[in-house]
Structure 1
Amino acid sequence: MVSGEPSSHENSIPHSENTHNPISTSPSPTDIPLIALNIAAQINEKLTPSTFPQWRAQFEALLIGYNLLDYINGNNPCPSPNDSSIPILQKTHWIRQDKLILNAILASTNTTITPFIFATKTSHEAWHKLHTLYASKSCTRAMQLKEELTMIKKGNQSVQEDLHTVKALADEISLIDQPISNDDLTLYILNGLGADFHEIAAPIRARERPLMFEELHDLLVRHDAYLHRLDASTQQLVASANYTHRRCGSSQGSQNFKGFSKQNGSGRNGASSKNDSKSAPY
């Protein structure tokens, strides 16, 4: 007779779907080591009222590299001290890491700026205050730089120096505002070069595809070298022509002088003969 009860071995198979889970859980915030930023070695310029865009770019890149940017932009706020669901160690870890970032901000600012943020409690508060103080000034600076770009002229600079000047202005604008397009950058450069570069400027303006700065730099530097070779060749031809002209003039003058001397010599001799004949006692 077949029994309706289950056999004994059916309940002996363990239900262990989660026993060997290959997906590891994310580490607790307290397991992540604290990171102290070495500002002296990693930020090459302290924050001043005129260097906020450059300083901000460096500092943000550093925090992104260490995965700490959320502390200053507010995406990782301080855990509430009244939230009992968050472990005390996690709150303590956040406070310690944030203080290390705040210390890095204070250490990387000039002494004229530090008093504005030394009383802030978190890195986010300090960052927000710096942005409020200097972001508007940066916008004004961007307008000033754009005006400089429209007025810049090559003058007595070499073409490389002129290109580097324009590129430095464009890069500073990119840190503050929107990056300048390749077309606009090409236009600023060509407008300031002068008449010597009109020959190459026309085909560059007519291109359908905008030139990268590196491509434009290469074309203009090669054209400048060609102009220098042409100028040197012209000067050599002029010098050679002047030398030939001086030699011809000197030779002709020498011949004229010899002819003049012969003529004057025969005249003196003739006059002397006549005088001698008149004074002879015949």
Structure 2
Amino acid sequence: MVSIKLRGAENYLSWSALFGPIFRRYKLIGIIDCSEPCPAPFLCDSNGNRTSTPNPAYESWYEKDQNILIWLNSTLSEDILPFTVGVSTSRELWRILEQRFAAGSDTHIHQLRSQLQSCQKGNMSISAYFQKLKELSTALAKAGAPVSDRDLITIILNGLPDDFEAFVDAVNLCIDQTSVDELHGLLLSKEISIARKKKVIGSPAAEPWEFQGSHNFKGNFGNFNRNFGSFGRNNGNFNRSLNNGGNRGNSGNNRNQNKSGSGGNRNNFNRNFGTFDRGSSSGGYHPCQLCGSTSHQAIDCYDRLNPTVQGRVPMDKLAARCAHKINKPSPSLWLADS
């Protein structure tokens, strides 16, 4: 019938309050408060002498008393069960528990005040936190040391975690106009708001966007740099092959083959480069003046950052990097490096 177990003074009032309606509903309250005393076990004759005839009233009373005793024992925690040893009636057990946990002694009051002032919300919900503080404040009131609403509000606010810091500051500004019930409602709303924000922050959609291929990009970039260096070391052979290809496109420039094949004469290289372009029939770009490819312009060439190429083609002679794309290559539009 009662869903909670008696743990001690901290929840005695809540525990005992749950039994009140049960005792009144089944007309058992007289057994607990002694308004219905225990009748004699046996009947008496007309002279007042006890006979051996059982008293039906006693049997009815005893059945009720034992039922109450069973109910009380079933709601006691393991720490409280030792107090039930040797107890035979429900009234006796109720009196022992009342004296033990509802007494108004100074020691008991000090214990309740210490528990109240040190109470922290922690991982409890707002409802559970309020219930615990309410039980302690009610126990103090029962013991003759009631707690004012303002003191209780201060204790409630002091036990809240850092998530409620802004809320606590706002309530402190109007603490005189705030009741405990109003504070309870405000805290419930704040709890829902904090839970919603944490859910949004923790959702995958709110995570910062990351470039998933960043590690591969870095690895490939390193390979690119290594290959770039190899290309720079081999560019002399490339130049010789390119000049030879240009000479095959225009036999009139064969006189430059021996000189430019070694990569030592930049002027011959540029003239042969132009010859190669005129002999080419593919692509919509003029050949790149840095690497000779017809797939891009000089401004997009990777060799712009190659120190070996920059040393071979003077920086003040790279105006052709700004050349525009045209549909058909035209010798008349070629910008020679002279």
User: What is the TM-score when the length of structure 2 is the normalising length?
Assistant: 0.45
Q: How far apart are 1:257 and its partner, in Å?
A: 6.7
Give the alignment partner of residue 268 of structure 1, picking from 224, 227, 234: 234
Whole-angstrom distance in 1 between the partners of 2:138 and 2:60: 28
Change (3 A) 1:138 1:64: farther
> Is this contact kept in 2: 1:43–1:58, CA < 8 A?
yes
Change (3 A) 1:45 1:153: closer
One-letter amino acid of the structure 2 residue matched with residue 101 of structure 1? K
> Is this contact kept in 1: 2:121–2:161, CA < 8 A?
yes
Q: How far apart are 1:205 and its partner, in Å?
A: 2.9
> Is this contact kept in 1: 2:31–2:65, CA < 8 A?
no
Within 5 A, what are the aligned runs for 1:1-282?
Answer: 42-44=1-3, 53-77=13-37, 95-96=58-59, 98-110=61-73, 112-118=82-88, 124=91, 127-136=94-103, 144=111, 146-155=113-122, 157=123, 161-173=124-136, 176-178=139-141, 183-207=150-174, 208-212=177-181, 214-228=184-198, 231-232=201-202, 236=206, 239-240=208-209, 242-243=210-211, 246=214, 250=217, 254=221, 258=224, 261-262=227-228, 264-270=230-236
Give the match's secondary structure for 2:86: helix
Give the match's secondary structure for 2:179: coil
Change (3 A) 1:69 1:204: same
> Is this contact kept in 1: 2:113–2:140, CA < 8 A?
no
Change (3 A) 1:103 1:206: same
Structure 1 runs (4+) deviating above 6 angstroms are 45-51, 78-82, 137-142, 271-274
Whole-angstrom distance in 1 between the partners of 2:192 and 2:125: 14
Aligned to 1:19: none
What do the CA deviations read for 1:218-276 (whole angstroms, capped 9, x no partner)? Answer: 22223313531563489936x22x539959x948x84x9757744652433338979x9
Query: What is the Cα-based RMSD across aligned positions, in Å?
Result: 5.0
One-letter amino acid of the structure 2 residue matched with residue 167 of structure 1? F
Which one has more relative contact order, counting CA pairs under 8 Å at least 6 apart? 1
Aligned to 2:50: none
> Is this contact kept in 2: 1:138–1:176, CA < 8 A?
no
Change (3 A) 1:216 1:71: same
Whole-angstrom distance in 2 between the partners of 1:186 and 1:150: 11
Aligned residues: 216
Structure 2: gaps of 5 or more residues: 47-54, 74-80, 241-258, 263-338
Q: How far apart are 1:136 and its partner, in Å?
A: 4.0
> Is this contact kept in 2: 1:153–1:193, CA < 8 A?
yes
- Select the structure of larger CA radius of gyration: 2
Structure 1: gaps of 5 or more residues: 1-41, 85-91, 278-282
One-letter amino acid of the structure 2 residue matched with residue 206 of structure 1? L
User: What is the TM-score when the length of structure 1 is the normalising length?
Assistant: 0.52
Q: How far apart are 1:117 and its partner, in Å?
A: 2.4
> Is this contact kept in 1: 2:5–2:15, CA < 8 A?
yes
What do the CA deviations read for 1:135-158 (whole angstroms, capped 9, x no partner)? Answer: 449996775454344334455x3x
State percent identity of aligned pairs: 23
